[in-house]
Amino acid sequence: MEKRENKDGKLVRLAQSGDNDAMEQLCAEYKDTVRMLARPYFLIGADRDDLIQEGMIGLFKAVRDYKSDCCIRLRRLSFRLFLLWHLSRLWER
């Protein structure tokens, strides 16, 4: 888990500085996570692809907004936890 956090943190910093390859790698790595999290929010008659696309936009915003010193109740958040929190806020509004 520690290795993943370090790898993700490095990719996020690179993506925040404009590295498109790092952003593409993060998108590829978290695409399945976004799909899994979107599943419970699917509404009958809605387009599932639209919901997933909204989640991928949420991923971009999470990369933009993430800070490695981000804390909740004095606990540091890994990028993965920050993304999960960010997407749940996005879809529950």
What's the pLDDT at 92? 74
Residues sharing a CB contact under 8 Å with residue 64, sequence separation 6 or more, in sequence order: 16
**DSSP annotation string for 16-54:** HTT-HHHHHHHHHHHHHHHHHHHGGG--TTS-HHHHHHH
pLDDT tens for residues 46-80?
A: 677 888 898 999 999 999 988 876 555 545 668 88
* Residue 2 reports pLDDT greater than 60: no
The answer to whether residues 34 and 58 touch, using CB atoms and an 8 Å cutoff, is: yes
CA dist., res. 24 & res. 15, Å (int): 9
Assign 76 to helix, strand or coil.
strand
